[in-house]
Each structure stands twice: as C-alpha cells, then as structure tokens.
A and B are shown apart, each in its own frame.
Chain A
Amino acid sequence: MADTNAPKPSSSVKLVLLGEAAVGKSSLVLRFVNNDFQENKEPTIGAAFLTQKCNLPTRTIKFEIWDTAGQERFASLAPMYYRNAQAALVVYDLTKPTSLIKAKHWVAELQRQASPGIVIALVGNKLDLTSDSTGSAEVSGDGDDNAEDSGDARKISTEEAKTYAEEEGLLFFETSAKTGHNVTEVFTAIANAIPETSLKSARGPGASHAGVSRTEEQRVNLNGPRDPNAKEACAC
C-alpha cells in the first residue's frame, strides 16, 4: 500500500452518527465523503458504512463511519454500532425541537454505554434554513446561495444547544450539509480531539484492504469482530 511510504502516520477512527430520522446524518456524510448533496434523500435503512480520510498536519486519520438509521425501529441495533466507536456525531435539526431532545437521549446513552473515552460532537444541522446562515461562501458546487428559504426556520437557539454541549463536554457545531458549511470542520475537530493514546494501535490503511488476514483474525477473536483496531495491520 501507498501508506508504507507515506510520510505521516495513519490511523483509523471508528465514528458513528446518531440522531433522529431526517435530521441530515446521511447528508452530512455524503457531503464529507463525496462533497455532494441530495435534495430528497431517502431514509437510511439499517446502517451504511463508509470511509474517508482526513489529513491533519501531523497525521492522517481514516474515518470508518457508521451512518445509522434514525427511525425508531432501528434503535435497538444502535449499540452494535457505537459499542467500539471512538467518536460519535450526534445530530439534530435546528429547525425541529424534538430532534434536540432525541439528541440528548443519545448523548446520555453514549455516556452510559459507549467506550469511556468516546469523543462526542453535537451537531445542529440545516443551518441554511435559518436567517443567520453564512455557509455559502465556503463551498463551491451545488450549494444554493440565494437564500430561497427566506425567513428564519430556526427553532433551537445556538445558545441553548451550546450551553448544553458545554455542560456535557461535547464538541459543538452548527452545520449545513446543503451548503457544506462547517461540515469538514466537524470531522477535523473530531480527528484532533481523539487522544493520541487511543490511536496507537490503530495504524494502517484499515480493514478493507486486508481481507484475508482479517477473516482469520475474526475466527479467533469473536468478541471484537468489528474492531479493526484490534489488529496490528498492514502486511500489505
């Protein structure tokens, strides 16, 4: 792999997205991974797994992202996705009050049940629907610059969410997957917030390139079949 010659150390970070249905989790991931946006995105069924690299000055982080479905009936599967996660993005829709309540539930559940060191970011999405949206300048492409949705649909003030985030020790961002505003920033901030120590064992290009060895590994290690970090990877 190219990584053997890469100047910077590379580590994988397992990240999970949680949040009420239709708040824009998949859209944030689509923006981050493909720099794309779809106006009428269909609900996620189950979960989607994607990867994307993020370059920091001193190292490369490869995100292994679980984009989960927000619909209630999938809630019981969530632990499977956050169990070994090093980072979580808890998303709400800042035009929809119930979605913040749901987000708080997720934060509480993560704090109770996920790995102790998990980095959590609280993200208020759909900033473009508010009158204070500033996102357009940063992004080329399909962002809709003329605020066609004039008027302010914001229902959750920045203050309210920010205060809560500070109390709970969460990173906090307001984003727009539609314009791209703040999307990369969220992921970069998470990458920076992951403690060095938890990255030590997670080097290499990640699971998908080391199929054969992984399978053998998993047969032995059934407890952590989904933990790519368990492996000192990169014989390739």
Chain B
Amino acid sequence: MDRDIEAGSNDSNNNNNNQKIERSTTEAVDHVPPLPPRPSRKLSDDGASGALHVTAASKPTTQVSTIDISTLSFPDGSRGTFSTSATSATRSVASPQSSASGYTSPRTDPTAETVSVASYPATLRPPGDLADLVTGEFNRRSRAWSMLRTQSSSVQPFEASRTGACDSLTGFEKEFDDIPEVGDKGITDEQRLSLWKSKMKHYMILSSAGKPIWSRHGDTSLINSYMGVVQTIISFYEGAKDPLLGFTAGNARFVISTQGPLYFVAISRLGESDAQLRSQLDALYMQILSTLTLPTLKNIFVHRPSTDLRKPLEGTESLLSSLADSFTKGSPSALLGALECLRLRKSHRATINNAFLKCRSDKLLYGLIVAGGKLVSVIRPRKHSLHPSDLQLIFNMLFESGGIRAGGGENWVPLCLPAFNNRGYLYMYVSFFDSVDTAEETNSPTSEDGPQPPQPPPPKPAPSPDEEIAIILISADKESFFELKSMRDKLALQLAKNGSLALIQSSARQGRPRIETILDLNTSPLPKEAGHSQGGQLSHFLYKSRANVQFCQSSLSPAFESSSPTASSSEKGSIGQRAAAGKLLVSRRRRLMTLYHHLHSSIHAKHSHLKVLHLVSEDAASLAWITPVFEFYCVAGPNMSRGVMTQCANKVVQWAKREEERLFIIGGGVF
C-alpha cells in the first residue's frame, strides 16, 4: 500500500496542478484518491487564507480514532464547529480523505486486536459494548469546550458547509443539467466546453480501438478529442503490458477499467476511492452486458475490432446515464452492494410470499414485488438466488430511468442478468400497479364510453415514485408473456383480497424509519447530553446485514430529502423557493454520501483491520462499525460526543437486530 506516499504528495499537489500519472500494477485497486485541492478562497486577506489553507492541508482537520486497535486522536477541543468563518468553508467534504489516507495506516497492536474481536457479537450483547470500547480518554475535553458545545449542540451535519459559499461541491446542483447542443444559439464552443469541464463526475466508455461508445456529459463533437487522448494513454500502457489503473490530474481522479475490448473511465472530483469508482464502472459494464450478452459483445469485436458499438447499444444511453447519475448523487445500495427492502411484519410478508408462490406459473424463474425501489417479496427456485448487481440493473431500469414506468401498460423486456448468466437473455414481465389497475377500472364500463375520440381519462393522482408498486416476473421463455400476465392478474387479485396490497401501500407511504422513533423505542434513557436537544441525535444511518446482502437506512427527510410530495404540495412556497431548497438538498445529500463513501473506504481498506472508526470534522461526526454480522454507518452533527454517538449506534444496531425479520427478507419464497 503506497497510499501514504500518495497522501504525502497531496500537499504539493494542491496548489500546483502538475499532472501526476501513477502507474499501478498490483495493489492499485486499493488506492485512496488523493486529496482534491481546496478551491481558492476569496478572502480579503490573502495571506490569512494561505495560512489557513496550509494548515488545513498539512494538519488533520479531521479527528480519526480507531478504537479497536490504536489511538489516533489528535488534539481536539481546539476546534469546534461554532466557528463559522471561512475556516469551516475550507473544510471540503472530500478532505476527510487526507486524514484517512494519511493516518489510518496499518496497526499491529495484538492486544487491541482481541478487544475488537470482543465486539463482534455486538447485537447479542446488552447495550454498552461499543460504548465500552470508545469511552474514556477520548471524551476528555476542556470545560470551556464543553460549555461551548452545549450551546451549539443543535448544529446539524453539513450546516457549516451549507453557508459556505465556496467549497468543492459548489455548483453540484447543476451537475445533472444538460450541456446545450452544438446548434443552440447564443452559446459558444468555449462556453460548452467550460460547462463540460465544470461537471464533477464524468464517465466515458470507448472501444480499445478508440471509438467513443458513451459518455455521460457532452456530445461527440465535444468529447471526441478527449476520448482520443484517453485511448492513447490507456493503449500506451496496455501495449507495455502494464495496464494503467488510475491517475490524478489536478483535483480529478481518473480510474480506468478494461473489460475485453472496452475501456471504462471514471473521472471524479467527488472524492470516491478507486475501488468505489471501479465498482461503478463495473456496474456500467454490467449494463452493457445486460443489453448485449457477453458472447454477442465478444463476437462483435472479434469480427470487426473497429465496430461502432453505439448502434447496438442505441436506446440504452438513458439507462447508462441514470445508473451513472445514481452514483454521482450517491447510492447507498451501490456503495454497500446491498438491497433495500420494504419494512413489513414477518407474518405479512409470509402471507405475500405464500400468495406469490400459490399463483406461480411453471414458466417463472424469479418473481419480485417491489415498492418504490424497495423489495417487498421474492420468490425463486431453490438452486438459484438473485445477485444484487442484477437487481441493481433491474431497479435502475424500472425506477431510475423513466422509460418503462412512463409508458404505461405492461412490459415484456428481454434482458441479460450478467451475474445470473451472462450468456443469454431472460424475459421480464413488468407491470406497475397504479398504471395498470386504474386503467382497467376506468375502462371497464364499456357501454358508457362515448364514441371516438376517446375521452381523456380522469387525471390519476400520480403516485410518487416512492410508492409505486411493481410486479416483476422473470422467465427464460420468451413466449411466456401471457402466462406471466395471467399469473400477475391472479396475484394482484389475491393481494387485494387478503389486504396485502393495502399493507404494502401503507408501509411504502410511511417511508423509512425515523431515528427518533427508533431511539424512543428503547427503554434505557439516553444520556442527558443527547436526551432532549436536537443536536444530540443521529441524523442518518445505514445498516447492512451482511448475511442477507440487504441494508436499511433511516429516513432522509427532512435533512437530506424533501418531505413527502403531499406535504410539500400543500405548502404554499413558491416554485422557485422549493426548487432552490431541492437543489440544496441534493448537495447536502451528496455531502452525506461522500462521508459514507469515505467511511466505507477507510474501514474496508486492505490491511487496515479496522472495526470501528469514529471521525469528526467541522461538518459532521460520523461512525463506522463493522462486525461479521453487520456494517453500520451513521452521521450526526459535528458536536455529538463520541459517547453519545456510540450509544445511539448501539441502540440502532439492537433495534435492527430485533427488527431483523421485518427489515430484511430472509430466504424469501423458495420453490
């Protein structure tokens, strides 16, 4: 691991944008990307800003402590989030990387190792085990500090950066805006180019012959020359049998993934690790396989290496883009490689599974019920399970990109699920409850229908994407549409009759669990410090059940997501206001996700042996905790003490254990 070197070079990298190409041969998968340089501050006093800058880069602004193994606490208490000056603005979200890459180097204290082992069966033990590990020394602070922090206890995470005008996420809300096309009046090529360059994340796919295949931003006229450069660089190293895996240019990290005849490139200024970027590129590759299958892809290039793959992939650009955008926005599901389920009582889920199994057609391979992108029920053959990466593709197609949902009706989609079998197609029947059922009902009284033209149907109350329920039936038989359709009709009838549909709808409407509710459920009171002040609460968490490859998270609203559409529509805020608020939330959510990405990469770094990672920055306090059973990540305001945080973490983890059979699908319906 040469990431210490990497981190060391950051400081010099910050100010001078000298390009550094680093060839990574074996271990590079594990590189932590270097610290993106801080944007130059527009401070009146340049000297002061320079000084701040240097401090920020050379000293940890982040407090890292690896509880289980060795202590890496830095003088804290000297710094609090009550400072809202330029200092807080300089704390870019991505900068925790500096501390992680610089200071969480491998440790070898054997006694600490045993301590961490003791924390494994955490959920089985009474509360306090995590707290035992992390209380003590760490929380000792000066009185002045304690007094100050009580005053600012209600500071929410990322509050400081919200006010800071310039940091690395400035302009993130424009990240997903289209770049005007060539023909557009009133925009010069330079302007288009600078718009293109202002994007924080780029993805490019090209053939090894250098033919552009897809890129997230910019049309071919804009990016062709860049593709050419990229191809030249990659091919140079390919030719030397020493493939290029990644490099840094300025504040952008380039990660390259080669899959047969295809080159995938991710360019990020958002601070993801190489491994994370690589897994995003893998997902894009899976999407291509899902469209073409591996043998077809190979065939195309065996016969004509210079083939333009855009033609065979035509129409899937939006799938690639929505996949890419979900990574850029930050997807917990992609980060954790896990699925989210709809929370349901065990007995309710069992009822649904049974109804599902009872209606099963012989032609069925997999059956899924999904509500708002969360899995409700799965039935599958005993010998096959569904791979999360395949489900990610399906969910992306159905819930992120509009194609199928907007079309109405029922769909019959040939697709390859590469993790299941990358050599052939399966056929997927999809129908959304809302579209199909209401359509059928409004149409059924035939005699009243006037003559043509058909009357416009009554406006349907558009269900929010979070509440849409889809039935997905997958078969290997391309002729089985009508069999699956009739299976779906039977199932829909059953679910409506036995009340399951209403239960699914109400659970979907309820949304994700709220942290207040979870913490209140616990009988043992929280310490005073956290008890009743707003700031004393976690803002968000992710909990992944490793065995089930599923995760759950707390509600993102109100801090990271606008509240339910019904609520927002009743508010009389102007559209402009709401749009502005929405954009703010997009960046806030990205900050949250950046922090999670950072926690994730730090705690999963090879040889790190981390079990618990507590991290405090000017923006937020956060905690990652992994055991063989689960992975837990949470974020709170920057003033939450470690003691309180660990107690909260313990409570959430116990809650998750208790609720396991509601939060997760365990086994599912098997036939």
A interface residues with partner B (beta carbon < 8 Å): 1-3, 5-8, 10, 21, 26, 29-30, 32-36, 38, 41-57, 60, 65, 67, 69, 71-74, 77, 80, 138-141, 180, 183-185, 187-188, 205, 207-209, 211-212, 214-215, 218-219, 225-226, 228
Contact = CB atoms under 8 A, between A and B. Distances in A.
A205 B445 CA distance: 10
Chain A interface mostly: mixed
Nearest to A83: B479
B56 interface: no
A59 B107 CA distance: 82
Contact of A2 (B427, B444, B485): B444
A50 B409 contact: yes
Given A71-B315, A141-B456, A30 B407 contact: yes
A49 B411 contact: yes
A180 B314 CA distance: 27
Nearest to B482: A226
A65 B428 CA distance: 18
Interface string B406-432: 111111111100000000000110000
8 contacts: A1-B444, A2-B447, A42-B318, A45-B415, A46-B412, A46-B414, A72-B314, A184-B453
A215 B361 contact: yes
B487 to A, nearest CB: 8
Contact of B409 (A49, A72, A228): A49
Contacts of A141: 456
B414 A74 contact: yes
A75 to B, nearest CB: 12
A184 B449 CA distance: 14
Interface string B425-453: 00110000000000110011111011111
B303 interface: no
B490 A53 contact: no
Contacts of A2: 444-447
A55 B450 contact: yes
Nearest to A70: B315
Interface of B: 291-292, 311-312, 314-316, 318, 361-362, 397, 401-404, 406-415, 427-428, 439-440, 443-447, 449-457, 478-483, 485-487, 489-490, 493
A211 B457 contact: no
Given A46-B413, A55-B451, A212-B486, 10 more contacts: A8-B446, A33-B439, A34-B457, A42-B318, A65-B409, A183-B453, A214-B482, A215-B487, A219-B362, A228-B482
A48 B409 contact: yes
A208 B485 contact: yes
B454 A215 contact: no
A67 B409 contact: yes
Nearest to B456: A35
A42 B401 contact: yes
A76 B311 CA distance: 16
Contacts of A138: 453
Contact of A225 (B404, B447, B480, B487): B480
B478 A72 contact: no
Given A71-B315, A215-B361, A45 B443 contact: no
Contacts of B314: 21, 43, 71-73
A217 B183 CA distance: 57
A56 to B, nearest CB: 8
Given A10-B446, A49-B481, A42 B403 contact: yes
Given A6-B446, A184-B452, A49 B410 contact: yes
A198 B445 CA distance: 24
Nearest to A140: B456
Contacts of B415: 45-46
B408 A69 contact: no
A149 B315 CA distance: 25
A141 to B, nearest CB: 7
Given A6-B447, A211-B489, A215-B483, A38 B404 contact: no
A225 B479 contact: yes
A218 B479 contact: no
A52 B447 contact: no
A52 B454 contact: yes
A73 B291 contact: yes
A2 B443 CA distance: 11
Contacts of A7: 447
B408 A50 contact: yes
A193 B379 CA distance: 45
B425 to A, nearest CB: 10
Nearest to B317: A43
A77 B479 CA distance: 10
A32 B454 contact: yes
A205 to B, nearest CB: 8
Nearest to A65: B409
B482 A225 contact: yes
Contact of B408 (A8, A48, A80, A214): A48
Nearest to A210: B486
A44 B482 contact: no
Nearest to A52: B454
Contacts of B291: 73
B214 to A, nearest CB: 14
B413 A49 contact: no
Contacts of B413: 45-46
B562 to A, nearest CB: 23
B482 A77 contact: no
Given A30-B408, A48-B409, A55-B451, A207 B485 contact: yes
B456 A69 contact: no
A169 to B, nearest CB: 24
A183 B311 CA distance: 30
Contacts of A185: 452
B286 to A, nearest CB: 16
Contact of B407 (A44, A60, A80, A214): A44
Contacts of A26: 407
Contacts of B444: 1-2, 205
A207 B482 contact: yes
B358 to A, nearest CB: 12
A44 B478 contact: no
